[in-house]
Amino acid sequence: MQPFIKREVMPGPLRGKALEGFVRDAATTFFHQSCTCRMGRDEGAVVDSQLRVRGIDRLRIADGSIMPRVTTGNTMMPCVIIGERMGEILTA
């Protein structure tokens, strides 16, 4: 790869605390965070079919965290459908 490298773009000549600060501020993920409050019927599920959080009154979740598994494609469309479902639940 050496023939394709012209220069370092970021972070530049940082050392010590400055380099540590850059890494802490610039580190990110390109993955879609999801499945942290999964919906289901078993004891491990956090959200029920009406998007209610178990054990907490009057709290619902309508985002990618309720998906039981990470989708094989982009998460946008499932999140749109989850939002649409919440709209139906709240207006019924």
| Catalytic positions | 32
Cα–Cα distance, 15 to 55 (Å, whole number): 48
Cα–Cα distance, 66 to 60 (Å, whole number): 10
Measuring CA to CA, which residue among 36, 21, 31, 24 is closest to residue 67? 36
